[in-house]
Amino acid sequence: MQEKNNPLLCDIESGMCETPGNDNDSIGSNNFKSIEKPIKVIYYTDPICSSCWGIEPQLRKLKLEYGNSIEIEYRMGGLLPDWNYNSGGISKPSDVAHHWDEVSTYYDMPIDGDVWLEDPLSSSYPPSIAFKAAQLQDKEKAVVFLREIREMVFLEKKNITKWEYLEAAAKKAGLNTEQFKIDYEGKAKELFNEDLKLGKELGIRGFPTLFFTDKTGKTEKVYGSKPYESYENAVLGLEPNAERSIYSIGLMAIFAKYPSLTAKEFSELTGTPRNEVEKLLNEEVGKGKLEKRTTKNGSIWKVKNLK
């Protein structure tokens, strides 16, 4: 039996893209200082982590329902340093293509694995460093930037190690692209290395990993892609009195919150039965309110004329 220790060979059922050799599970209290809200979440992820793309519906819902109680800090884990290994059934970029197609079906989130055949990435470090550069300007815009580059790689088959795509995503996220380039080539690399160092200290073995911590230091960990209730229970386990925010589930109200949505995301956020979602969204395309991008493994809908 092959060892499944290749980080790009994610375990679909556990929802984890694992890295080998990091078993420390201790959490230093210094990592959770400066909590403004009742709960701080340290979210370890990577721009090309397919399981992380798989939890976007749950994570987006968590932000809407418990955004008043949680403060999420995004950290980059360094999923793919380079191709200098041969393990877990993946030794070259083309090996990832079929796996990504399988992941797409399992999580019901559109992913086109053909990027690994047409314009494969050599590493996930450049887009990770770019995210840290975005964070230096604006944490919220950095999250928008991360979403943009994920849509680029998972749906548009773009090699997001290339500067042209990183710059385009930064512009779309509303970042100052000149400062973004300066930070990308400078301080962001240091911040990325700090993320990697903290990841080792926290015993991060794969992505996604989310640490939920209250002001006393009590911690709940959610490891891998899990149903929404797992993330909600982590919040309520630390803050039983956390109030769930009520938000409008009207179609355009949801798109005002998140200007691009997959069918799975729309279903999760609105409670609309999954088998009814695409018809509903396609009707809005027909009315000229939304536009649709279709891949071989699913679609994404955006507010019309969104640039």
The pLDDT assigned to 6 comes to: 62
Helix H segments across the chain? 50-54, 56-66, 94-107, 115-118, 125-137, 139-154, 163-172, 177-185, 187-202, 228-238, 251-257, 263-270, 274-286
Any idea what DSSP says for residue 32? G
Amino acid at 75: R
Spell out the per-residue pLDDT of the chain, length 307, in tens. Answer: 334 456 677 777 767 777 655 545 555 545 555 568 999 999 999 999 999 999 999 999 999 999 999 999 999 999 999 988 555 567 789 989 999 999 999 999 999 999 999 999 999 999 999 999 999 999 999 999 999 999 999 999 999 999 999 999 999 999 999 999 999 999 999 999 999 999 999 999 899 999 999 999 999 999 999 999 999 999 999 999 999 999 999 999 999 999 999 999 999 999 999 999 999 999 999 999 999 999 999 999 999 875 4
What is the reported pTM?
Answer: 0.92
Alpha carbon 6 to its chain centroid, in Å, reads 19
Pairing of strands 39-45, 17-18: unpaired
Domains recognised in the chain with CATH numbers:
17-207 (3.40.30.10), 251-303 (1.10.10.10)
The pLDDT assigned to 86 comes to: 53
Give just the sign of the alpha carbon dihedral 272, 275, 281, 284. negative
Task: List, in order, residues 6 or more apart from 225 with CB less than 8 Å away.
Answer: 14, 15, 16, 51, 54, 55, 107, 208
User: Do residues 154 and 116 touch, judged by C-beta distance below 8 A?
Assistant: no
Measured from the Cβ of residue 211, the count of other Cβ atoms closer than 10 Å reads 22
Angle, helices 125-137 vs 177-185, to 10°: value is 130
The pLDDT assigned to 20 comes to: 54
The pLDDT assigned to 84 comes to: 81
CA–CA dist 131, 135 (Å, integer): 6
